[in-house]
Structure 1
Amino acid sequence: MNPSRAGPSSVQGVAGSQAPSPVNRALSLRSDDATSPQPRKLEVVSKQATKVTALSTKLEWKIDQFEKLMKLFKNGQNLISRQFGVPQAPTVCWELHVYPNGKRDEDTNNVSFFLRQVGLQRGEEPIMTEFQIYALDANGTRVSVCRDTKDFTNQQGRGKFQVSREKMTTALRMDGSLMLICEVEYFSPGVRISVEPADDEDATMEDEETKIETNIRENNKRMLDSELFTDCVIKVGAKQIKAHRCILGQHSPVFRSMFNNDTMIEAQNGIIDISDFKYEAVRALVEFMYTGGTDALETSNGGIIEEILAIADKYEVLALKDCCERLIANTITLKNITSIAVFADTYSASYLKQAVTRYLSLHDKVIIGTPEWKVLKKDRQGLVTELLEEVVLGRDDSHRSSSSEGSSGDLPGSSGLFSQSHSRASPVRKRARRAPPK
């Protein structure tokens, strides 16, 4: 081979094998990266949900001739709303207190407001609460009194919020009345907030559960009314109610005991004779066991509600008894407090007895001078002693709470003869079988 021809060819071959320039190298790297496989990620998602349900209750309170009350009420005299709350937390009850001419001397010419918690028992954990109080004027426009978030303990009032007379005058309606609104939100006492696995259908789950519960109640009511597949009869005089043993036994330990005992007539022939209560009360009891409610409780007839409480006590349908206690507590007055106290004691109605105690603590100077109280003192000395002891203990707790909170924990005294109040306590049941009211 001729070396002279081979040289240039060899040199050219060597040059063609030289390393690429920096620009070419960068292009080469990008090309290699684009075509090389990417590492795959292993992603694990843990879905969780924290379900929290806040309770909400609202008071609408119309106070007639409020402009006159601001002028005629003495400093320190107050108005107290009836208790309000929600059935889901029966031991938590609220009262709104209004002093048309101020709570203390320095509050004169102002209207004092504060919210009071009256249901929790001594020693229970405080509940954090968000609340707002406002009035609706003649045009339906809100006139704000306050909005705050505080924690409440047993028998504790939080305030006091001062509003000038001039501002309250602008909030009055055309007839001179004041329409007060109090909205309260809180968590049920003892609620436990936990993290649970999330459900993709959480957004609609609560609505679906509500619909299902409503359908069950409606179906149960139709089943009762149509007497479909009934297997027992409740006789009340000449009237009768056909029912189902499984429903009665599920909601009443007394009925359950009847049907489980083969030696009892009720278990043998399925006939239950009730002669110590009126038909209306028996019907209300049965309706409540089927549907969780009864129209009879919406009546203004206090006598029938007392009889429903009595039959609920006898057959141990405690949820119905509790509803009756709350309704009766809202009817306490200076005239009937002694008779309600006896009634509450007769049927071991602890909620109702606490309401009596609370009302007595606010009006003791008037009540202990009435003929009815003197008769009660003579006939039921033990009951009188118990009520007065509870009043004293309640005032001691209120004093300690007020001292620890300062002005923000202001509590009303017992001076307001214009006041009415109803309290509740947790359900501590002392079993006592009593005769129904005549």
Structure 2
Amino acid sequence: MEAVTKVEETAAVDLDALLDAGEGPMVTLVAGETRLMARRAVLAARSPVFSAMFSHDTLESSSNEVTITDVEGPVLRELLAYCHTLRTPHPSSMTPQVLAAADKYDLSGLKTECEQQLASLLTVESAAATAVLAVRHTCPSLTKAAVAFIKANFQVLATQGWADAVHNQPKDVVEVCRLLGQPPIKIRYLSTGISFHALASSFRLGVSTVSVVVKDELKSLGRQVVVLCKIKAHNFS
């Protein structure tokens, strides 16, 4: 096992070195002042976006140089390292940017790994930014995790992170608020007009138990509605 690990680590180092060495058929990727060399065939194999770019008569295909917008140099390096090694970067402050880049270039494996990393690192301060990121880049599992975290920790709505999200990504915040305002499944179940007796039978619970559960859910939903109304009033004031 140790031998295999050493081989993988050596291969990773060698492949990382190739990003700068320019060996073999390469293409130059440019992000600001950062210029990195990558194997054209590997990029095309990993990313449908790069594959389409290189298989058509495009400027990038003819010049062998691709300008990467909205991506910083360190993030680009992580992206290319993954393409060559399929090793996910360790969680860091760059993980949200890596996720966004993975989404842009359709690196689904890297995107999924970044989702899992961010979900495991949710905090009161980071939840708002993570929720907005998840909504913007269509990350269902991360969106679910972030919304559930905010519902369980409504102090998120009083953080600077939430205020920044409202100011910088208002459309995405509206979607997050919509998800926060969705009633629990028990309440949605009742909205069909089903009786307590039928609901009790469906959940295999006593009628009195269902009554207590529904009342608790309604109280919780009421508190959420009050908070959301205050947020909406503040945003439009």
Same-fold call, TM cutoff 0.5:
yes
* Aligned position for 2:100: 310
Are residues 351 and 359 of structure 1, via their aligned partners in 2, closer, same or farther at CA, if it must alter by over 3 Å? same
SS at 1:325's partner residue? helix
What's the Cα RMSD here?
Answer: 3.7
* Aligned position for 1:266: 60
Q: Which amino acid aligns with 2:115?
A: E
Q: How does 1:178-217 map to 2 (within 5 A)?
A: 214=8, 217=12
Which residue, 68, 74, 77 being the options, matches 1:280? Answer: 74
Which residue, 376, 387, 391 being the options, matches 2:180? Answer: 387
CA apart distance, 1:218: 5.5
SS at 1:242's partner residue? strand
CA displacement 1:116-143 (0-9 Å, x = unmatched): xxxxxxxxxxxxxxxxxxxxxxxxxxxx
* Aligned position for 1:233: 28
CA contact (8 A) 1:248 1:255 kept: yes
CA displacement 1:307-340 (0-9 Å, x = unmatched): 1111111111111111221222223222332232
Are residues 298 and 359 of structure 1, via their aligned partners in 2, closer, same or farther at CA, if it must alter by over 3 Å? closer
SS at 2:125's partner residue? coil
**2: CA distance, partners of 1:234 / 1:339:** 28
**1: CA distance, partners of 2:26 / 2:61:** 11
CA displacement 1:130-162 (0-9 Å, x = unmatched): xxxxxxxxxxxxxxxxxxxxxxxxxxxxxxxxx
**2: CA distance, partners of 1:292 / 1:298:** 15
Q: Which amino acid aligns with 2:79?
A: L
* Aligned position for 1:336: 126
CA contact (8 A) 1:234 1:274 kept: yes
CA apart distance, 1:382: 3.7
CA apart distance, 1:234: 0.7
Are residues 238 and 310 of structure 1, via their aligned partners in 2, closer, same or farther at CA, if it must alter by over 3 Å? same
SS at 1:272's partner residue? strand
* Aligned position for 1:325: 115
CA displacement 1:209-236 (0-9 Å, x = unmatched): x679837655544544533214211122
Give ranges in structure 2 of 5+ residues lacking alignment: 190-199, 205-215, 218-237
SS at 1:232's partner residue? strand
Which residue, 229, 236, 243 being the options, matches 2:38? Answer: 243
- Structure 1 residue 253 and structure 2 residue 43: aligned? no
- Structure 1 residue 346 and structure 2 residue 140: aligned? no
Q: Which amino acid aligns with 2:181?
A: L
CA contact (8 A) 2:60 2:66 kept: yes
Question: Normalized against structure 1, the TM-score is what?
Answer: 0.37
Q: How does 1:418-437 map to 2 (within 5 A)?
A: none
CA apart distance, 1:275: 3.1
CA contact (8 A) 2:50 2:105 kept: yes
Instruction: Work out the percentage of aligned pairs sharing the same amino acid.
Output: 21
**1: CA distance, partners of 2:48 / 2:7:** 23
Bigger share in strand: 1
Are residues 314 and 213 of structure 1, via their aligned partners in 2, closer, same or farther at CA, if it must alter by over 3 Å? farther
SS at 2:181's partner residue? helix
CA contact (8 A) 1:217 1:292 kept: no
* Aligned position for 1:195: none
Q: Which has the higher contact order (CA 8 A, sep 6+)?
A: 1
SS at 2:123's partner residue? coil
SS at 1:316's partner residue? coil
Give ranges in structure 1 of 5+ residues lacking alignment: 1-206, 405-412, 415-438
SS at 2:121's partner residue? coil
Q: How does 1:287-298 map to 2 (within 5 A)?
A: 287-293=81-87, 295=89, 297-298=90-91
Are residues 367 and 279 of structure 1, via their aligned partners in 2, closer, same or farther at CA, if it must alter by over 3 Å? closer
Q: Which amino acid aligns with 1:383?
A: V
CA contact (8 A) 1:218 1:291 kept: no
Q: Which amino acid aligns with 1:278?
A: E
Are residues 321 and 369 of structure 1, via their aligned partners in 2, closer, same or farther at CA, if it must alter by over 3 Å? same
**1: CA distance, partners of 2:175 / 2:143:** 14
SS at 1:240's partner residue? strand
**1: CA distance, partners of 2:153 / 2:41:** 47
Q: Give the number of the structure whose alpha-carbon radius of gyration is greater.
A: 1
**2: CA distance, partners of 1:239 / 1:339:** 27
